[in-house]
């Protein structure tokens, strides 16, 4: 018999270890940067907020940097990493394709197009929120076009969804290219930076604006773990297993759009997290979504915080866009996985 009932399953241990790793990463990375803050000081500064006697001395400047700049940035990185990885896991399950990515549905490119348009057309209706709001509208618009195109006779055709996503991606790419072409040098710089992705703009305000969406994605998608498992057998078989397939698909696509759209809106384009993280978890723990999703969320959060740490420390005092970091670390790693497994696993 499988000894599952009494013993703690390996998955639970991995999940616990991942949670601890995330916590350590959070505490360490808020302390690293131009202004150094030791882990003890970090705890003391937060403790002081709640009237707890500080464990060690710290300077006012350290507290200011920690509270106003580092903490919202690191938290945003963790939430974003979690949401992107969760969204990737959900899409890969929906498409029954381990290579599916949030970028596939046209969400990211729709967001990118609207952001570029806002910059070049000098639209400034919402002050500093103009770019995020434009990106958010663009992502929702792109997704609803793609989704409606792929609906026929009440069913969502996943192949059409994929192809419509590719078409929308190409169209958005062309239009973004056009806006880039007519932009001034200054606008070009701003578009490019946004496309490369950065958590540099993180503040308590942007965290407050985006975290509800990111949290809905992270905590909503796990409810569909069993449906996603059944969907891996094909939509008909999932239906025969009692799953309301249309309902699950619609809910999942909406959850993905919310998380990815909000993410692109506050941090620009950050690739590879949604693709690589679930893939990595699947290779080590199997494709069961009941643990794939939460562990992907934890790993995504940890790795994106680390990537952001790298991006803001590697070329100090300047910052390397985080999209460059995730892509340059993620793509060779992904290639390595493909080459390693090309013999036994048919993707």
Residue with tokens 């940035």: 73
3-state SS of 197-234 is CCCCCCCHHHHHHHHHHHHHHHHHHHHHHHHHHHHCCC
Given the complex with another protein, which of 73 and 289 has the nearer CB atom?
289
CA separation for the pair 1, 62 (Å, rounded): 56
Q: Is 2 in the site for another protein (CB under 8 A)?
A: yes
CA separation for the pair 294, 221 (Å, rounded): 9
Residue with tokens 């060779």: 332
**Nearest one of 88, 79, 85 to 305, comparing CA atoms:** 79
Residue 210 Cα distances to 119, 273, 286, angstroms: 21, 18, 31
Given the complex with another protein, which of 148 and 237 has the nearer CB atom?
237
Q: Is 130 in the site for another protein (CB under 8 A)?
A: no
Stretch that binds another protein, among 200-208, 212-220, 227-235, 298-306 (CB under 8 A): 227-235
Q: How many residues bind another protein (CB under 8 A)?
A: 31
Q: Is 157 in the site for another protein (CB under 8 A)?
A: no
Given the complex with another protein, which of 118 and 248 has the nearer CB atom?
248
Q: Is 347 in the site for another protein (CB under 8 A)?
A: yes
Q: Is 1 in the site for another protein (CB under 8 A)?
A: yes
User: Contact at 8 Å (CB) between 307 and 325?
Assistant: yes
Instruction: Please pick, from the candidates 16, 177, 234, 332, the single residue that binds another protein as defined by CB under 8 A.
Output: 234
Q: Is 98 in the site for another protein (CB under 8 A)?
A: yes
Q: What does the per-residue mask of binding to another protein show for 282-301, with x meaning CB under 8 A?
A: x---xxx-x-----------
User: Contact at 8 Å (CB) between 312 and 294?
Assistant: no
- Per the DSSP assignment, residues forming a β-bridge with 155 are 152
Instruction: Please pick, from the candidates 121, 315, 338, 345, the single residue that binds another protein as defined by CB under 8 A.
Output: 345
Peptide bond into 317 cis (omega under 30): yes
Instruction: Please pick, from the candidates 133, 143, 218, 230, the single residue that binds another protein as defined by CB under 8 A.
Output: 230
Given the complex with another protein, which of 39 and 286 has the nearer CB atom?
286
Dihedral of alpha carbons 169, 171, 248, 235, sign? negative
Q: Is 241 in the site for another protein (CB under 8 A)?
A: yes
Stretch that binds another protein, among 19-27, 53-61, 63-71, 224-232 (CB under 8 A): 224-232
Binding site for another protein (CB under 8 A): 1-2, 4-5, 96-98, 225-226, 229-230, 232-234, 236-237, 239-244, 282, 286-288, 290, 344-347
């Amino acid at each position: 018999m499988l000894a599952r009932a009494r013993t703690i399953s390996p998955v639970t241990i991995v999940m616990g270890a991942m949670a601890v790793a995330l916590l350590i990463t959070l505490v360490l990375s808020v302390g690293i940067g131009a202004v150094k803050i030791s882990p003890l000081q970090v705890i003391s500064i937060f403790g002081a907020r709640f009237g707890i006697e500080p464990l060690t001395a710290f300077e006012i400047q350290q507290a200011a940097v920690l509270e106003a700049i580092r903490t919202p940035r690191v938290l945003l990185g963790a939430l974003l990493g979690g949401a992107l990885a969760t969204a990737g896991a959900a899409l890969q399950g929906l498409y029954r394709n381990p290579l599916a990515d949030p970028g596939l549905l046209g969400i990211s490119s729709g967001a990118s197009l609207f952001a570029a348009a806002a910059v070049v057309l000098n639209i400034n209706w919402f002050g500093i929120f103009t770019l995020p709001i434009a990106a958010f509208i663009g992502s929702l618009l792109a997704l609803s076009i793609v989704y409606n195109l792929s609906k026929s006779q009440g069913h969502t055709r996943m192949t059409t969804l994929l192809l419509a996503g590719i078409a929308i991606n190409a169209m958005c790419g062309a239009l973004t290219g056009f806006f880039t072409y007519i932009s001034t040098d200054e606008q070009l710089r701003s578009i490019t930076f946004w496309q490369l992705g950065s958590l540099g703009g993180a503040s308590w305000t942007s965290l407050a604006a985006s975290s509800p969406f990111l949290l809905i994605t992270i905590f909503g998608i796990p409810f569909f773990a069993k449906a996603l498992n059944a969907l891996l057998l094909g939509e008909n078989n999932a239906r025969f297993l009692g799953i309301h397939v249309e309902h699950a698909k619609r809910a999942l696509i909406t959850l993905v759009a919310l998380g990815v759209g909000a993410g692109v809106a506050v941090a620009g384009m950050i690739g590879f997290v949604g693709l690589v993280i679930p893939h990595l978890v699947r290779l080590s723990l199997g494709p069961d979504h009941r643990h794939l999703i939460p562990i992907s969320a934890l790993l995504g959060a940890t790795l994106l915080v680390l990537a952001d740490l790298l991006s803001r420390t590697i070329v100090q005092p300047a910052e390397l866009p985080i999209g460059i970091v995730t892509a340059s670390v993620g793509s060779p790693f992904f290639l390595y996985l493909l080459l390693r497994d090309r013999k036994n696993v048919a993707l």
